[in-house]
Structure 1
Amino acid sequence: MSINPPIGSDIRLTTHNGHQLVVMPLESRGPTRLFVPLFLSVWMVGWAFGWVSAAREVLAGEGGLFLMVWLAGWTLGGAFAGYALLRSFKKPTPEQWLLVKPSLHIDTGLASMRHLGRHGGRASWKEMFPQRKRFELTAAELATLALRETDSGNRLTVDQGAERIELAQTATEIEREWLYEMLRLNYRL
């Protein structure tokens, strides 16, 4: 196995405080990085006009129960769209691994909005509101490292207590295979 990432890979190998640092590639956002915020900005203007119009009718005592329920749903939809708009402006942060033998320090980073729903088409609640996590894997936890084949491609996972953590989510299948072998060799798994 090569100690260098696969040809064409965007994985970066550097050092930090004398330890090897692996930085996962950020996915290319392409034209969507401009389209999504532009579309949501225009949509939010239309949303605001609809909300003000409906709120005026409700406050004037017109429209009845239907309009009140509609306004509540419209408000909730606008809140989600506003959140998505704010998230679309946030620059993604790459996942990083620091090989501090015998442990492995992981910073999950923060994926872009486009990365939602990668395992079945639908985004889970946790994916909609991601949290950047930093944790340390012990030698015993690293022994659970596995490259799992699924219908949507392979997944690189490790178990920490009762939680199964997916690693290298933005990497390609070939990169995940290389990372799996690199960790196996470095930690003698």
Structure 2
Amino acid sequence: MSSTPPQGSEIKVDTLNGHQHILVPHGKGGAMRYFIGLFLLFWMGGWFMGFTSAFSQISSGDGGAFLVFWLGGWSVGGLFAGYMIYRVFEKSIPEQLLLNRPSLSLDTGVPPLKIDFGMRSQKKYWKSMFPKRKRIEFLPSELKTMKLRETDSGNRLTIDKGAERVEIAIGATEIEREWLFSFLQRNYS
């Protein structure tokens, strides 16, 4: 198997500080997120008008307890909408693997926000809304647990880190994961 990714792949292999460095893009995230982003930008205009109107009533002494309560909820909604706008237009950071033998370093990067109305798991949805960028160092003993697992939805490339099963190349295609698995096996066996 070649050290060159499959034809048509967006995976990049280069060197960083004298070590092989692999960049695995997360994908585009879909066009639907931009429509939602535009909707939220227009919605924020209405939010701002509602906020300034309620705030001016409260500060002039005309607002009651309900308006204070409403403004608190409205503020939380505005913060969440602002964060959603940030996530929609945030640039994706690719997953990175650094083959610094005998270890392997993984930087999970930041995937783009994917709007999927068919998402069945609320937990997966919230994880995609608030992604955590992780940097993981796999030791030689942990690299022995590297497997290409076949599932109903396709293959998964995983390495066990203690009690956690870390999935690698999430944004890659099945063929790219198969290539990456062979490439890593050659370099770490």
Equivalent residue letter for 1:114? K
Q: CA deviation at 1:97?
A: 0.5
Equivalent residue letter for 1:14? D
In the alignment, which residue of structure 1 is the partner of 2:144? Answer: 143
Secondary structure (helix, strand or coil) at the match of 2:114 reads helix
In the alignment, which residue of structure 2 is the partner of 1:13? Answer: 13
In the alignment, which residue of structure 2 is the partner of 1:83? Answer: 83
Separation (CA, whole Å) in 1 of partners of 2:96 and 2:31: 26
Please tell me whether residue 170 in structure 1 is matched to residue 163 in structure 2: no
Residues 116, 127 of structure 1: 8 Å contact kept: no
Separation (CA, whole Å) in 2 of partners of 1:149 and 1:31: 29
After superposition, the C-alpha distances for 1:30-84 in whole angstroms (9 at most, x for unaligned) are 54464343222012222333445566778745585xx776655444333221101
Separation (CA, whole Å) in 1 of partners of 2:167 and 2:68: 42
How high is the sequence identity, in percent, across the aligned residues?
51
Secondary structure (helix, strand or coil) at the match of 2:132 reads coil
In the alignment, which residue of structure 2 is the partner of 1:37? Answer: 37
Separation (CA, whole Å) in 2 of partners of 1:103 and 1:131: 22
Distance 1:49 1:149, change over 3 A: farther
Q: CA deviation at 1:24?
A: 0.5
Residues 40, 85 of structure 1: 8 Å contact kept: yes
Separation (CA, whole Å) in 2 of partners of 1:118 and 1:183: 34
Q: CA deviation at 1:110?
A: 1.0
Secondary structure (helix, strand or coil) at the match of 2:150 reads strand
Residues 6, 176 of structure 2: 8 Å contact kept: yes
Please tell me whether residue 180 in structure 1 is matched to residue 181 in structure 2: yes
Q: Aligned Cα RMSD in Å?
A: 2.9
Separation (CA, whole Å) in 2 of partners of 1:102 and 1:51: 56
Residues 30, 115 of structure 2: 8 Å contact kept: no
Secondary structure (helix, strand or coil) at the match of 1:165 reads strand
Separation (CA, whole Å) in 1 of partners of 2:28 and 2:101: 32
After superposition, the C-alpha distances for 1:129-187 in whole angstroms (9 at most, x for unaligned) are 22222221001111111222333322222111122212111111221121112112211
With structure 1 as the length reference, what TM-score do the two structures score? 0.80
Distance 1:115 1:26, change over 3 A: farther
Distance 1:180 1:70, change over 3 A: farther
Separation (CA, whole Å) in 1 of partners of 2:76 and 2:187: 49
Secondary structure (helix, strand or coil) at the match of 1:114 reads coil
In the alignment, which residue of structure 1 is the partner of 2:99? Answer: 99
In the alignment, which residue of structure 2 is the partner of 1:133? Answer: 134
Secondary structure (helix, strand or coil) at the match of 1:79 reads helix
With structure 2 as the length reference, what TM-score do the two structures score? 0.80
Gap regions ≥5 residues in structure 1: none
